């Protein structure tokens, strides 16, 4: 009995030690395997860092910069490790097929920290994991010695595509903003930046062959202060002060900055729709030679499709693709293909002629003819074309990659891999982070949908109906921040964070290891890192959502209150007073009278309010006739 008791106590205490240590390690995305061991490594300014010469020459400077950023001191960095190093951090190249292209191992013992990877991408990821093992408040503490727990991590991503789309056509953002975001997202192992560079509201990339693209296409009339969807069209003779563009030198700088951070930049030139700015710059690309074109000032953009009939259109695009292919080292060029309005094509003699001569059955097939020709221009330059899921319409575009965005009426997330296309998920209902992330009245202006942090986190990119073979065609997932309602860097960051981090874990971590409860603890820890990096992140996850179903006969409503983050006590009131830590705890749906205010909020165990008090009026709003 005595022996049994002591073994039990030993096991129990061991598990407590291990549990407690694990809890302080909050890595996003969650690694494939992490075992905490006994002991610590002491990291100080005297700790030497050794980096294999085979890794990128710029990694050394990058590591130095981040150690300073995270800890406030610098370490000595050498290259190679000819003599055995003690009390050192070592990053070395290995040849271990199990780690793949982006995987790594990271082992911390009392005498060394060793990261190993086959590739630069892998060692970059190993370093990001190490950065997150360093306590988030290390810089604030100003300690000269940081204790890191001994552990072994073996890690690699679930998907090769873990992306973010930024739309800088609708609102141009400065180069510095982009560099800051690339730096931050790479800390969470996001590896693809899909850059939406052209649309109706502005052409943002310098193409030397066509100077009007930036001279005219990058600028629009000022309609700030008027709702995006109500803005009057621009007049030809009024000033066009709103906009901007990225010069080829800017782009080279951004691409190189991203490369050092293991991020591939995929440019998107959105064709043949979404082309109002392109048509404003070069009106001869239009079917309608009778119309004058100006860059759109807001959402309304009729006649925004370029002519698919004239050969001059294809020649022009070839010139654009030529420069884009040279400017961006990515394997991919995204050519859009979404929401192509075909009205102009139907009345255009050139488009009709093209249709007839190529025995095309309808204008959907004219779109696939157009996209297939652009695909040829892209593949000729050794690149692979990506398009939004509309490029499957008509006769489709064999060999292209589908970015599956539409949902509900459409199911490209299933149809594309079933048709044999490689597919990237960019779900309109789960990953469009231009939507609100909490109760709308507490959010900046945005489309009507609500996509909270938990919803982004819980997204599963592989539809369960796919066979194993079809599932293998899913390359990964990305969140998209469309730019209609992100006029400046501050609001853009508010929409990006923390939802980018949730999607980073969706893309990296196997579903069986994903765990919302652990993620919400990790996200709070990482809020400190976002603060340290001066990121204007959103706290909407703390704002509960109140919804109700009214019954007009009894003049009551069934009210549901849902927290996004589950770490706190959810309390509410029905009498219009602000809830306090002593208000009723919400457990299940409640019945409320019409014309009352339901208020709800989250409180810590100690009674501190987390986030905002949310109010919802229970009333029936009559629809306007």
The listed partner (Zn ion, ligand ACM, none) that binds 126, CB under 5 to 8 Å by sort, is: none
Positions in 486-545 near Zn ion (CB under 5 A): none
CB of 407 to ligand ACM, least distance (A): 11
3-state secondary structure at position 546:
strand
d(CA 251, CA 178) in angstroms, rounded, equals 11
- Tell me which of 335, 340, 348, 404 binds Zn ion, using CB under 5 A: 348
The listed partner (ligand ACM, Zn ion, none) that binds 49, CB under 5 to 8 Å by sort, is: none
Instruction: Decide whether 129 or 304 has the Cβ nearer to Zn ion.
Output: 304
CB of 539 to Zn ion, least distance (A): 50
Number of other CB atoms surrounding residue 147 within 10 Å: 11
The listed partner (ligand ACM, Zn ion, none) that binds 309, CB under 5 to 8 Å by sort, is: Zn ion
Instruction: Judge residue 427's burial from the number of C-beta atoms within 10 Å of its C-beta, 0-12 exposed, 13-18 middle, 19 or more buried.
Output: buried
287 is a contact residue toward Zn ion (CB under 5 A): yes
Using an 8 Å Cβ cutoff, are 335 and 370 in contact?
Answer: no
CB of 538 to ligand ACM, least distance (A): 22
CB of 548 to Zn ion, least distance (A): 51
The listed partner (ligand ACM, Zn ion, none) that binds 307, CB under 5 to 8 Å by sort, is: Zn ion
Instruction: Decide whether 30 or 170 has the Cβ nearer to ligand ACM.
Output: 170
Active site residue 575: no
167, 199, 264, 389: the active-site residue: 199
Positions in 249-278 near ligand ACM (CB under 6 A): none
CB of 306 to Zn ion, least distance (A): 8
Using an 8 Å Cβ cutoff, are 43 and 108 in contact?
Answer: no
Contacts of 365 (CB under 8 A, 6+ apart): 355, 394, 395
Active site residue 199: yes
d(CA 243, CA 220) in angstroms, rounded, equals 6
- Tell me which of 138, 154, 307, 530 binds Zn ion, using CB under 5 A: 307
**Residue of minimal Cβ distance to ligand ACM:** 338
DSSP 182-208: HHHHHTTT--EEEEE-EETTEE-B--T
171, 194, 274, 334: the active-site residue: 274
- Tell me which of 92, 96, 338, 350 binds Zn ion, using CB under 5 A: 350
Positions in 333-362 near ligand ACM (CB under 6 A): 338-339
d(CA 228, CA 299) in angstroms, rounded, equals 6
Rounded to 5 degrees, what are φ and ψ at 202? Answer: 160, 135
Write the binding mask 378 to 397 for ligand ACM: x where contact by CB under 6 A, - elsewhere.
----------x---------
CB of 426 to ligand ACM, least distance (A): 7
Q: What's the chain's Rg over C-alpha atoms?
A: 27
Write the binding mask 396 to 425 for ligand ACM: x where contact by CB under 6 A, - elsewhere.
---------x--------------------
Q: How many residues bind ligand ACM (CB under 6 A)?
A: 4
The listed partner (Zn ion, ligand ACM, none) that binds 350, CB under 5 to 8 Å by sort, is: Zn ion
- Tell me which of 351, 366, 491, 546 binds Zn ion, using CB under 5 A: 351
CA distances from 466 to 414, 419, 506, 514 (A): 7, 11, 18, 21
| Structure tokens given for 315 | 């020649």
Instruction: Judge residue 395's burial from the number of C-beta atoms within 10 Å of its C-beta, 0-12 exposed, 13-18 middle, 19 or more buried.
Output: middle
3-state secondary structure at position 259:
helix
CB of 270 to ligand ACM, least distance (A): 8
Instruction: Judge residue 276's burial from the number of C-beta atoms within 10 Å of its C-beta, 0-12 exposed, 13-18 middle, 19 or more buried.
Output: buried
d(CA 155, CA 160) in angstroms, rounded, equals 14
The listed partner (Zn ion, ligand ACM, none) that binds 25, CB under 5 to 8 Å by sort, is: none
Active site residue 376: no
Using an 8 Å Cβ cutoff, are 383 and 433 in contact?
Answer: no
Return residues touching Zn ion (CB under 5 A).
287, 307, 309, 348, 350-351
Return residues touching ligand ACM (CB under 6 A).
338-339, 388, 405
């Amino acid at each position: 009995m005595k022996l049994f008791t002591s073994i039990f106590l030993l096991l129990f205490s061991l598990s407590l030690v291990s549990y407690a240590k694990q809890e302080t390690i909050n890595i996003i995305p969650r690694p494939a395997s992490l075992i905490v061991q006994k002991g610590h490594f002491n990291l100080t300014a005297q700790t030497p860092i050794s980096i294999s010469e085979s890794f990128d020459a710029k990694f050394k400077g990058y590591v130095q910069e981040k150690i300073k950023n995270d800890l406030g001191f610098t370490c000595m960095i050498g290259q190679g490790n000819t003599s055995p190093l003690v009390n050192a951090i070592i990053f070395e190249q290995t040849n271990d097929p199990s780690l793949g292209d982006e995987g790594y191992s990271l082992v911390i013992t009392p005498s060394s920290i060793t990261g190993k990877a086959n590739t630069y991408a892998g060692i970059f990821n190993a370093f990001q994991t190490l950065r997150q093992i360093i306590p988030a408040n290390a810089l604030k503490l100003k300690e000269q010695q940081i204790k890191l727990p001994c552990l072994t991590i073996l890690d690699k991503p679930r998907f090769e595509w873990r992306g973010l789309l930024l739309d800088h056509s609708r609102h141009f953002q400065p180069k510095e903003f982009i560099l800051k975001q690339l730096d931050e997202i790479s800390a969470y192992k996001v590896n693809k930046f899909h850059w939406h560079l052209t649309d109706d509201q502005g052409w943002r990339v310098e193409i030397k062959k066509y100077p009007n693209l930036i001279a005219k296409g990058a600028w629009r009339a000022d309609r700030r202060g008027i709702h995006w969807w109500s803005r009057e069209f621009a007049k030809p003779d009024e000033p066009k002060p709103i906009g901007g563009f990225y010069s080829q030198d800017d782009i080279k700088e951004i691409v190189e900055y991203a490369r050092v951070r293991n991020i591939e930049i995929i440019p998107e030139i959105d064709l043949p729709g979404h082309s109002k700015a392109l048509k404003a710059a070069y009106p001869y690309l239009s079917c309608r030679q009778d119309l004058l074109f100006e860059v759109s000032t807001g959402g309304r953009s009729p006649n925004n499709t370029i002519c698919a009939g004239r050969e001059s259109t294809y020649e022009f695009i070839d010139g654009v693709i030529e420069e884009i292919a040279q400017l961006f080292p990515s394997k991919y060029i995204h050519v859009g293909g979404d929401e192509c309005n075909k009205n102009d094509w139907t009345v255009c003699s050139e488009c009709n002629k093209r249709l007839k001569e190529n025995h095309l059955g309808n204008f959907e097939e004219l779109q696939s003819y157009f996209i297939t020709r652009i695909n040829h221009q892209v593949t000729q330059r050794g690149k692979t074309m990506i398009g939004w899921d509309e490029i499957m319409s008509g006769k489709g575009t064999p060999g292209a990659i589908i970015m599956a965005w539409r949902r509900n009426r459409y199911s490209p997330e299933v149809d594309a891999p079933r048709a044999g296309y490689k597919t990237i998920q960019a779900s309109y209902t789960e990953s469009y982070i231009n939507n609100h992330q909490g109760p709308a009245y507490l959010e900046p202006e945005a489309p009507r949908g609500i996509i909270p942090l938990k919803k982004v986190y819980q997204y599963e990119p592989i539809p369960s109906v796919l066979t194993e073979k079809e599932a293998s065609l899913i390359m990964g997932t990305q969140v998209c921040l469309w730019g209609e309602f992100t006029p400046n860097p501050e609001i853009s960051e508010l929409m990006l964070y923390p939802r980018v981090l949730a999607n980073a874990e969706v893309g990296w971590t196997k579903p069986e290891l994903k765990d919302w409860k652990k993620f919400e603890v990790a996200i709070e820890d990482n809020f400190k890192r976002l603060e340290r990096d001066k990121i204007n992140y959103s706290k909407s996850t703390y704002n509960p959502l109140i919804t109700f179903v009214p019954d007009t006969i009894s003049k009551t409503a069934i009210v549901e209150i849902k927290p996004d983050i589950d770490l706190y006590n959810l309390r509410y009131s029905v009498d219009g007073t602000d809830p306090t830590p002593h208000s009723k705890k919400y457990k299940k749906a409640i019945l409320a009278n019409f014309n009352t205010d339901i208020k709800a909020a989250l409180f810590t165990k100690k009674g501190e309010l987390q986030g905002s008090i949310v109010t919802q009026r229970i009333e029936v709003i009559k629809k306007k006739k």
